[in-house]
A and B are shown apart, each in its own frame.
Chain A
Amino acid sequence: MSTKLIGRTSVRDNIKLSEDPSYPIFKELYEKQKKVVWFPEELNIQQDALDYHSLTDDEKELFDTAVGYFCSSELLVQNVLVNSFFPLLTDPHAKMSFSTQLFMENIHSDFFEIVLQSFGLDREKMYDVAFDDPILRKKQDLIVDEIDKISHGKINPETLEGQKQVLRAILLNNIVLEGIFFYSSFAHFFALKDMAKMKNVVSGVELVLIDESLHLQNGIEAILIMLDENPEIVEDTEYVQDIRNVILEGTSLEIEYVKHQFGDRTILGISSGEMERYLKYITDRRLQELGFQQEFHINENPLRFLQKEDVKKLINFFEVSSTEYTNY
């Protein structure tokens, strides 16, 4: 049988690992994810308690919302994965890679939950913020509505239509949600650390970033493989255009959100203009990663402090939780 990455599976299927995997990339991504497993207990989050109380109202709002957003979104990612395309994965290594992603989303939820508790945030409000805030809600709706459509209807992966639906689910989840929305909030956190605030929490977010960039790669690989296996998909120009539009819609929702959040002022030395440009930069990258042309043609990250995330890190261990140890 000519198996595709996405197909109908039974619980009896793909329970054997092969020495010569059909998709070596997922084995590799699994291995990479395994190496970076971490636990929230490694970080001394309580250390930031005094810091938290010294944040300005704007900063607190930014921090709280970002935390609240992640609290619910990390679990949302799980739902989407499990309800939409996980059962359709036909390859054991792909399953291992995506289920490791699932596991790490647990850790992230756990981490943000501890953050909530450590600073006495209003948990009800925080968990609901992503759906109560009218602008954040639009972001969540983009993901949720689409996925619900897919997972409530019966997907038939044996058809081209089914493959297209699954691809779209992966795109929304791993690229739009994890690759654009999350990256927006990452920047808020890193800006805090840049101003020497909430350093231990942000150390945790650095670890989340490492994970998410691997998840992003999971998604990109899955999509590229699907396109490879179903060359008809790219021939459907309407569909291709639609995919591009979904990405751009995600970006414009995120831009709307940061404009609302930053307004006429700077927070942590960042203005909405910079955030907008940054999001366009990130979007261009995502587009290119999937084979699209850039939309905005922004080739330099305007939030230059982020280059601190790109270079080797040396840490005063006795001052800040380290993110530089690997597991084995």
Chain B
Amino acid sequence: MKRTVIKRDGTEEPFRTQKIINAIFEIIQGLEVEDDYEIVFKIMKELDLKVPKRVATEELDQLVLKAIEQLIPKHPVYDTLATRQLLKIIDKDINRRLDHFRDYLARGFEENLLDESLKEFDFELLANSLNFDRDGLLGYFGLTTLKDRYLMRDRDDQIIEKPQWFFMRVAMGIGNSNGEVIKIYNKLSKLEYLHSTPTLFNSGTTTAQYSSCYVSVIDDSLDSIMDKARETAFLAKYAGGVGTDVTRIRATGSNIKSLNAPSSGAIPFIKIFDTLVNSIQQGGRRRSSQVMSMQPWHLDIDGFLDLRETTGNAYFRTPSLNTSLWMPDEMMRRIKEGEPLYFFDPGECPELVDAVGDDFRAKYEKRIEQAEAGGLKQFDKRDSKNFFKKYLFKLAKTGHPWLIFKDEHNRHNPCPEYSVINSSNLCTEISIPNHSDSTAVCTLASVNLSKHLTDDESDIDWDKFEDTLETMTRGLDNVLDKNFYPSEPAEKNTMDLRPLGIGLMGFAEALVDLGIPYDSEEAVILARKIGAFMRKVTYRTSQQLAEERGAFEHYREMKEAGSPYDYKPRRNAVLLAIAPTASISIISGTTSSIDSYFSNLYSRDTLSGKHIVINRQLIEDLEEKGHWSDEMAQKIKANNGSVQPIQELDGVINKDLYKTAYEIHPERQIDIAAAFQESIDQSVSKSLYIAERMRDDMEEFYLYAWEKKLKSTYYCFIDKVVKGEKYTEEVNKRGSRKGFGAVSSDTGSESSNGTSSKPGKEEQESVSDREELEARAREKFGDEVVDQALNADAGSCPTDPMLQKICPSCE
């Protein structure tokens, strides 16, 4: 096929393979690879089918990128090459418009995209501090994500930021001096820590909204509901996640005094927020979202549990909202001990809302007595086990509502005089006292633990870790005064309490480097140690900050009022929160939060499309041991990203290091979260990964989470059983049946005549024996097991290649 390249200026030239080959060699340069010719050959082979008859120069660059991208699951080197190719595309594009960092800044100011305050910095000094080599630290998925959503665009929607300019711009929006900016830039660009997405989007820009989440409270009045709807709209506009407590809204049938009529209850009002959030979600770079929180003794709880169902009355369904339960200890105790649960109308029993711990228990029991004596207008009594089962069923089915423990959050409230903690936020890591006039705000950043190991990977580099934590504490505290607050209650809460949320990511990656399996007691011990260290360093820094800049307002007020808190003055009421770090862990190319690797090979859906993620550490390990090959890659894929069933790796690598999320017992997952939670003053957001076969034990796991004193749980992932047909690997649906191949003929059906080596009579007999055996095996063990066995590596079983998975001697 003769192919033509159309150049930028419209002229045409014949397509020349050599030119492309040279370009690929160029991006390989400087990379340590075994055989660069082989790599180029493989890429060219992928590319060949892709290039159409007529192709534009820029498109050709894209197609080369796509060709490399397809090879990523084969080896990490392709990930590096894809990153380099994408960098080349980004650079080429920006270089056409902007020559230098200063040109970018000038354009930013000119188009009113960058905040004027950045002009105070020494641009020359900052420009000289840029280090473009650090682009190489980014992985392909990370760079794609940056390019699609984070790199700043001008008013014509053209990208004007190179990755290093981006890191510098973010640092300029956080640091207070040239020195501090450079320090923050260095840490960010080395991916040692990252701020949360809204900060990365907006830092240093004219939309200086740095915070990730807001937590508000709705009072039991139409005024309050509509006020909060308005507040939500503005918080959502700036891409913040909003958490909202709706427990106070009176239940269905409760009397409205001014009308002397019954109320329609909480659910229809929640629907307002669903519509609101959905309408704001349509635009912007990141979907805004909201979570509604309710204490489960609320009489409308059944409607609340159904909010995320997909069938039923649309007015009672909220597909755009998330939901969570704010569960008191007393109710958990009743569930555990099988005592009945009672449900009340907060309009009639308002004292239950604010009450926590033993106080709640006493008030709840009092209401139970009253109810049983016929003294309440409305209540309900239910079997607690049934209720909990129903709840867990909804959780597994719809993913909502999440379970969060009210009393554990409030036990650690540093400012109970300010307010109770009324609910957590969307991602369940926030634990800040709030009320209807004070909306909690949290500004987050997370350390990348995998970049804080000693050179020999024998331990955490505690000094470096300490330095990063100090930088983060100071940086985040700066941000609170630069931040734009979309509502008054939000500004008030921040100025009163100055809460920070310093978290962690890359825990699992660091564990693998340290040689510690996630599923081990050692991992739990390390988690405890890291949590305690984070607390020690950040609290010390905050105490220093209090000396320099003053303690948080509410602390000072309490002191002046003569009832001081019993802890040392510090700048921030709370400092630590372990967030899920979904997006920023992708940018950093590490494991999210404190989670294990999800799988060694999986795909991830985000706003930047679908990406294949491979466990680079595993491949490097296998490669070192000489066990990495296309066949091994295929095997890992066939096992859904698990290495556990692959027998030939026994003794070759430490398989325990590479257990995937569903292979780690949920109780161990909880233990690790609990070990962190001991020191984290806000909350640890913990998703649970439950294998399908453990689904019946969910009740146990959630009780265990409560007993282990987790404050929050987040998503409950249950391994999906029924999947689509595998697209890229053989699946034997026919089994041993012959179908159209049953009779030998010339019609191209699959029978003995198809193979080049026609079996002789003897062989045929043994074939039929084999078939019989196979048929029996199918009957006994099911098709799946037999097919697995048949497709497995024939070399590994000395006795019977076919039955290796079934025969007990090999099990």
Binding site for B on A (CB under 8 A): 32, 35-36, 38-39, 41-42, 44, 46-47, 49-50, 193-197, 199, 203, 206, 209-210, 212-214, 216-217, 220, 223-224, 227-228, 231, 234-235, 237, 240-241, 243-244, 262-266, 269-274, 277, 285, 288-293, 295, 299-302, 304-320, 322, 324-328
Q: Are B733 and A324 within 8 A (Cβ)?
A: no
CA distance A227 to B631 in the complex (A): 35
CA distance A62 to B314 in the complex (A): 33
- B50, B241, B289, B317: the one contacting A269 at CB < 8 Å is B50
Mark out the residues of chain B between 282 and 322 whose CB falls within 8 Å of any chain A CB in the assembled complex: 282-283, 286-287, 289, 310-311, 314, 317, 319-320, 322
Chain A proximity mask over B120-140: 1 for CB below 8 Å, otherwise 0: 000000000000000000000
Chain A proximity mask over B566-594: 1 for CB below 8 Å, otherwise 0: 00000000000000001100000000000
Q: Are B724 and A213 within 8 A (Cβ)?
A: yes
CB contacts (< 8 Å) of A327 on chain B: these are 397
CB contacts (< 8 Å) of A288 on chain B: these are 734, 750
- B725, B746, B750: the one contacting A292 at CB < 8 Å is B750
Q: Are B745 and A237 within 8 A (Cβ)?
A: yes
- B282, B320, B607, B609: the one contacting A194 at CB < 8 Å is B609
Q: A41-B310, A42-B319, A311-B641 are in contact. Are A209 and B724 (CB under 8 A)?
A: yes
Chain A proximity mask over B526-559: 1 for CB below 8 Å, otherwise 0: 0000000000000000000000000000000000
Q: Are B606 and A47 within 8 A (Cβ)?
A: no
Q: Are B729 and A310 within 8 A (Cβ)?
A: yes
Q: Does B416 contact A (CB under 8 A)?
A: no
CB contacts (< 8 Å) of A314 on chain B: these are 598-599, 602-605, 613
Binding site for A on B (CB under 8 A): 46, 49-55, 59, 62-63, 66, 69-71, 73, 148, 241, 278, 281-283, 286-287, 289, 310-311, 314, 317, 319-320, 322, 393, 396-399, 426, 582-583, 598-599, 601-613, 637, 640-641, 660, 715, 717-730, 733-734, 737-743, 745-750, 754
Q: A269-B50, A291-B740, A291-B741 are in contact. List 11 more A-B contacts (CB 8 A).
A: A42-B319, A194-B610, A210-B723, A212-B724, A234-B745, A241-B747, A269-B66, A273-B52, A305-B69, A312-B603, A325-B398
- What is the chain A residue whose CB lies nearest that of B614? A311
Q: Are A235 and B740 within 8 A (Cβ)?
A: no
CA distance A39 to B747 in the complex (A): 43
Q: A193-B609, A264-B53, A315-B604 are in contact. Are A50 and B282 (CB under 8 A)?
A: yes
Chain A min CB distance to B393 (Å): 8
CB contacts (< 8 Å) of A289 on chain B: these are 733-734, 739
Q: Are A47 and B281 within 8 A (Cβ)?
A: yes
Q: Are A223 and B637 within 8 A (Cβ)?
A: no
What are the nearest 5 A-B pairs in CB distance? A291-B739, A196-B609, A213-B725, A291-B741, A308-B603
Q: Are B59 and A290 within 8 A (Cβ)?
A: no
Q: Are A291 and B51 within 8 A (Cβ)?
A: no
Q: A227-B739, A265-B52, A291-B749 are in contact. Are A44 and B720 (CB under 8 A)?
A: no
- What is the chain A residue whose CB lies nearest that of B692? A326
CB contacts (< 8 Å) of B720 on chain A: these are 324-326
CB contacts (< 8 Å) of A324 on chain B: these are 717, 720
Q: Are A264 and B637 within 8 A (Cβ)?
A: no
Q: Are B725 and A224 within 8 A (Cβ)?
A: no
- A35, A310, A318: the one contacting B426 at CB < 8 Å is A318
CA distance A210 to B53 in the complex (A): 35
CB contacts (< 8 Å) of A295 on chain B: these are 748
15 contacts between A and B (CB under 8 A): A42-B319, A244-B747, A266-B51, A266-B55, A271-B52, A273-B52, A304-B73, A309-B603, A309-B724, A311-B601, A314-B605, A318-B426, A319-B607, A322-B399, A326-B397
Q: Are A325 and B399 within 8 A (Cβ)?
A: yes
- A197, A203, A271, A308: the one contacting B611 at CB < 8 Å is A308
CB contacts (< 8 Å) of A38 on chain B: these are 310
- A199, A210, A305: the one contacting B722 at CB < 8 Å is A210
Q: Are A318 and B289 within 8 A (Cβ)?
A: yes
Q: Are B602 and A266 within 8 A (Cβ)?
A: no
Chain B min CB distance to A187 (Å): 9
Q: Are A310 and B726 within 8 A (Cβ)?
A: yes
CB contacts (< 8 Å) of A291 on chain B: these are 734, 737-742, 749-750
- What is the chain A residue whose CB lies nearest that of B50? A271
Q: Are B743 and A235 within 8 A (Cβ)?
A: yes
CB contacts (< 8 Å) of A241 on chain B: these are 747-748
CA distance A46 to B281 in the complex (A): 10
CB contacts (< 8 Å) of A224 on chain B: these are 734, 737, 739
Q: Are A311 and B747 within 8 A (Cβ)?
A: no
CB contacts (< 8 Å) of A214 on chain B: these are 722
CA distance A224 to B734 in the complex (A): 8
CA distance A325 to B747 in the complex (A): 44
Q: Are B740 and A292 within 8 A (Cβ)?
A: yes
Q: Are B49 and A317 within 8 A (Cβ)?
A: no
- B310, B319, B583, B749: the one contacting A240 at CB < 8 Å is B749
Q: A293-B749, A310-B728 are in contact. Are A227 and B740 (CB under 8 A)?
A: yes
CA distance A309 to B715 in the complex (A): 22
- What is the chain A residue whose CB lies nearest that of B586? A316
CA distance A44 to B275 in the complex (A): 12
Q: Are B748 and A293 within 8 A (Cβ)?
A: yes
CA distance A305 to B715 in the complex (A): 27
CB contacts (< 8 Å) of B55 on chain A: these are 265-266
CA distance A318 to B714 in the complex (A): 12
Q: A209-B724, A307-B612 are in contact. Are A293 and B754 (CB under 8 A)?
A: yes
Chain A min CB distance to B238 (Å): 16
- B398, B715, B727, B742: the one contacting A307 at CB < 8 Å is B727
Q: Are A328 and B725 within 8 A (Cβ)?
A: no
Q: Are A32 and B722 within 8 A (Cβ)?
A: yes
Q: Are A199 and B63 within 8 A (Cβ)?
A: no
CB contacts (< 8 Å) of A217 on chain B: these are 725, 733
Chain A min CB distance to B189 (Å): 24
Q: Are B727 and A309 within 8 A (Cβ)?
A: yes
CA distance A299 to B729 in the complex (A): 9
- B46, B603, B722, B739: the one contacting A36 at CB < 8 Å is B722
CA distance A174 to B640 in the complex (A): 27
CA distance A318 to B288 in the complex (A): 8
CB contacts (< 8 Å) of A231 on chain B: these are 742-743
Q: Are B282 and A274 within 8 A (Cβ)?
A: no
Most chain-A Cβ atoms within 10 A of its Cβ — which of B148, B720, B730? Answer: B720
Chain A min CB distance to B605 (Å): 5
Q: Are A244 and B727 within 8 A (Cβ)?
A: no
CB contacts (< 8 Å) of A227 on chain B: these are 739-740, 742
CB contacts (< 8 Å) of A320 on chain B: these are 605-607
Q: Are A306 and B728 within 8 A (Cβ)?
A: yes
CA distance A316 to B606 in the complex (A): 6
CA distance A306 to B747 in the complex (A): 32
CB contacts (< 8 Å) of A209 on chain B: these are 724-725
CA distance A144 to B607 in the complex (A): 40
CB contacts (< 8 Å) of B743 on chain A: these are 231, 234-235, 240
- B49, B59, B71, B283: the one contacting A50 at CB < 8 Å is B283
Chain B min CB distance to A176 (Å): 15
Most chain-A Cβ atoms within 10 A of its Cβ — which of B282, B717, B724? Answer: B724
CA distance A42 to B605 in the complex (A): 16
- What is the chain B residue whose CB lies nearest that of A209? B724
CA distance A203 to B609 in the complex (A): 11
CB contacts (< 8 Å) of B70 on chain A: these are 304-305
CA distance A240 to B51 in the complex (A): 38
Chain A min CB distance to B112 (Å): 23
Q: A47-B282, A309-B727, A311-B601 are in contact. Are A326 and B754 (CB under 8 A)?
A: no
CB contacts (< 8 Å) of A35 on chain B: these are 721-722
Q: Are B606 and A272 within 8 A (Cβ)?
A: no
CB contacts (< 8 Å) of A318 on chain B: these are 241, 287, 289, 322, 426, 582
CB contacts (< 8 Å) of A42 on chain B: these are 310, 319
Chain B min CB distance to A207 (Å): 9
Q: Are A243 and B283 within 8 A (Cβ)?
A: no
CA distance A86 to B738 in the complex (A): 25
